[in-house]
Amino acid sequence: MRHIFVWHDTSTVANHGYMVCLVSCLYDPAFYLTDEDYKATTGKYINVQRLIEPQLHIVARCSSSDVEHLAYSETKLQCIADLKRNLSTTQQVEVIDILRLT
């Protein structure tokens, strides 16, 4: 199972509304290679957790009204519904996504 973390906030700065989202995959050694496993496989050392958990920040400017913020809800709900479609790796291992919203 792959865990995806989404943090969402809205705020007003200088009388303009902003919606801020943070999206990241959470590292889990049961799902991803450990640093040692990666080195044994490739001969190279990398920090796998650092590679897996980069954070994507999305900042959107909009009015601070409830109507404007609710306009994003339909798209967000569709994206969450699409997570029910599981992926398969090239080795035919099914990937189940779990979404954590805060």
Sequence ranges of the domains in the chain: 2-101
Output the pTM of the full model. 0.53
Confidence of residue 68 (pLDDT cuts 50, 70, 90): low
Span 34-49, mean pLDDT? Answer: 94
CA–CA separation, 16 vs 9, rounded Å?
14
Span 87-93, mean pLDDT? Answer: 82
Contact 2, 88 (CB under 8 A): no
Confidence of residue 12 (pLDDT cuts 50, 70, 90): low
Q: How far, in whole angstroms, is CA 58 from its chain's centroid?
A: 11
Residue 66, helix vs strand vs coil:
helix
Span 70-93, mean pLDDT? Answer: 76
**pLDDT higher than 70, residue 41:** yes
Contact 27, 48 (CB under 8 A): yes
First-to-last alpha carbon distance for the chain, in angstroms, is: 19
As a whole-number percent, the residues of the chain with pLDDT over 70 amount to: 81
